[in-house]
Amino acid sequence: MADLGQSISELNKQEEQLNKTLDASSKLEEYREFQELDWQPLARRIAEMQDELKDLESASDLLQTLTTQLKELESRQAIHLEQLNKALEVLGSTKQKIDTTNEQHNETRAITLTEGADQNRLWFDKLDHLRPEALGEHKLTVGSCDTHQQEMRKWLQSKMDSLGEKITRLQGKIVNAMSDYNRDYSLETQEVDAAVEAADEYRQMLVALQADDLPRFEARFKELLNENTIREVANFQSQLHRERETIRERITLINESLTKIDYNPGRYIELEAQATQDVDIRDFQTELRTCTEGTLTGSEDEQYSETKFLQVKHIIERLRGREGLSEQDKRWTLKVTDVRNWFVFAASERWQEDKSEHEHYSDSSGKSGGQKEKLAYTILASALAYQFGLEWGATQSRSFRFVVIDEAFGRGSDESTRYGLELFKKLNLQLLIVTPLQKIHIIEDYIRAVHFIDNEEGKNSVIRNLTVKEYKEEKLAYQQR
C-alpha cells in the first residue's frame, strides 16, 4: 500500500505538469505567425539603433546644440502655457466678480430707492458707528460685504441675546421683590399682580407710603408688639405647658391605681413620661422661650423690639405655612403643637415593698409572649384612661366607658387574659368582647351577659342571649349529663 501510495503521488505530479503544458500549448493558438512571438531580433534592432544615435550625437556638436535649444524651448513653452492658463482663469473669475458686483449694486440701488429709504440711512449711521466694535480692524470691499454682513449680524444677535438675558434676570428680580412684598402685605396687595406691567401700581403705593409718614407709627408698633403680640405668644406657650402638666397629672393618677394591681407577684407597673429628645420639638420649645424672655425689662430697647418681632414672625410664618413649604410646615405644626409628642413614654416594673425598680420597659422587644400581652394591656388601659379622662375607681363618673374588643384573648395565655380583664374592671369599663369559646372560662367571671351566635351551613345566623347566671346554670347542667 505504501508503494502504491508513492506511485499515485508521482503520477499526480506528472498529471499536473502535463496540464500546465497543455494550457501553454492552447494559448499558442492566439498567435498565427512565429514573428509575433520572436521578440529577440526586435530587441537587438532597438539596441543597435540606440547605439547608432549615441554615436551620431557624440560625433556632431551642432546636433547637440540644437537638441539643447529644443529642450529649453519646450520648457519655456510649458511655462508660458501654464501662465496663460492661469491668466485665463483670473480673467474668467474677474468677469464673474464684475457680473456679481453689478447684480449686488443693482439690488442695493433698488433697496435704497424703496419707501423708508431715509429711515434706513439713519440705521446706516448707527451701523457705521458699531462696525469697528463688531468687526475690529478691517477693509470693507464689495466682495467682502456678504462675509462682513454675516459677522455683523452674528455680533448684533449675540449682543441682543445678552441684553435680553439681563432684562429677563432683572424682570425676575423685580417680580420676586413684588411677590415678597405681596406675601408680607397680602391685605394691601390682594388686587395687585406680581408682574412688571403692574410697576405703576407699586409706584403709587410707594408714593402713598411716603406720604403717610409711617415712622410716626413706629412707637405705636413697638407698643403693640410688646403688649399684644408677644403676650399672645406667651398665652400660647402657657396653654401648651398646661396641656403638658395635664398629661403628667393623668399619668400620676394612672400610676396611683396601677400600684394596686400586681403586674407580677409583689411588683407593679409605673408609667414614666420623659421629655423627648426630638430636635424639632426641642427647637420649637426654645424658640417659644426666646420670644417671651425679657418682655418686661427689654420693651424700651429698639434692638430688642426688632429682634422679638423677627422671632415671633418666624414662628407665625411656620405655623401658618410658608409659600412652597405649606405641606412640610403643616406636618411640623401638627407635630410640635401636639403636646403628646413632647414625651417619650416608658413603663417601670417596681417592687411593692421599697418602690425600687425591677425592670424598665421602653419597648417590648426581647420579651416573651405573655410579657408582651401583659405590658400591652397595661399600656392599653393607661391609654384609655388618658384619652377619655377616666377616674380610676369612680363608679358614678359620667365619662364614656364603652369598649369593643374584637378577637379578644384568643391567643393569649390565661394569666395575661385574667390580668387584662382585671385592669379593665379597675377602669369600670363596659366591655363588649367578641371572642371564640376557648377563653370563655376566664371571661365569664368578668361579664354579665353572653350572646351566642351560630350559623349552620353558612346560611342563616341566629343569636341567643343569656345572662351569666343562666349561662353557668346551663353549663353546669350540660356537664352533669
The answer to whether position 371 is within a domain reads: no
The answer to whether position 299 is within a domain reads: yes
> What's the half-sphere exposure (Cβ side, CA atoms, 13 Å) at 358?
15
Average pLDDT of the residues in 352-361: 87
What is the predicted pLDDT for the residue at 298? 46
260 and 201 housed in the same domain? no
379 vs 375: CA distance, rounded Å: 6
The residue out of 311, 343, 362 marking a domain boundary is 362
The answer to whether position 4 is within a domain reads: no
297 and 344 housed in the same domain? yes
The answer to whether position 461 is within a domain reads: no
267 and 358 housed in the same domain? yes
223 and 357 housed in the same domain? yes
pLDDT class of 11 with cuts at 50, 70, 90? very high
The answer to whether position 188 is within a domain reads: yes
The answer to whether position 332 is within a domain reads: yes
Which residue in 341, 374, 354, 366 sits closest to 269, CA to CA?
Answer: 374
199 and 319 housed in the same domain? no
pTM: 0.46
Q: CA dist 350 to 225, 250, 361, Å? A: 51, 19, 11
281 and 337 housed in the same domain? yes
What is the predicted pLDDT for the residue at 397? 62
100 vs 355: CA distance, rounded Å: 113
Q: Which residue has the higher pLDDT, 114 or 109?
A: 109
183 vs 323: CA distance, rounded Å: 9
pLDDT (tens digit per residue) in 42-62: 888 888 888 887 777 676 677
The residue out of 362, 394, 429 marking a domain boundary is 362
The answer to whether position 481 is within a domain reads: no
Number of structural domains found in the chain: 2
Q: What is the mean pLDDT of the chain?
A: 80
Give the structural domain span for 192. Answer: 150-207
Please give the order of strands across the beta sheet that includes 343-351.
267-275, 343-351, 357-361
Q: Look up residue 153 and give its amino acid.
A: R
Q: Phi, psi (5° rounding) for residue 257?
A: -80, -30
354 and 233 housed in the same domain? yes
Q: Taking 70 as the threshold, does the pLDDT of residue 469 lie above it? A: yes
323 and 271 housed in the same domain? yes
The residue out of 318, 337, 362 marking a domain boundary is 362
274 vs 285: CA distance, rounded Å: 15
Q: Which of 95-99, 102-106, 195-199, 287-291 has the lowest mean pLDDT?
A: 102-106
329 and 195 housed in the same domain? no
183 and 239 housed in the same domain? no
What is the predicted pLDDT for the residue at 8? 92
Here the cell at position 278 is: 426630638
pLDDT (tens digit per residue) in 202-226: 888 888 877 776 666 666 666 666 6
Share of the chain above pLDDT 90, in %: 12
Kindly state the DSSP code that residue 438 receives in the 8-state scheme: G
241 and 185 housed in the same domain? no
332 and 198 housed in the same domain? no
The answer to whether position 456 is within a domain reads: no
Count of beta carbons in the 10 Å neighbourhood of residue 178: 20
Q: At what angle do helices 145-184 and 199-212 cross, to 10 degrees?
A: 40
What is the predicted pLDDT for the residue at 60? 67
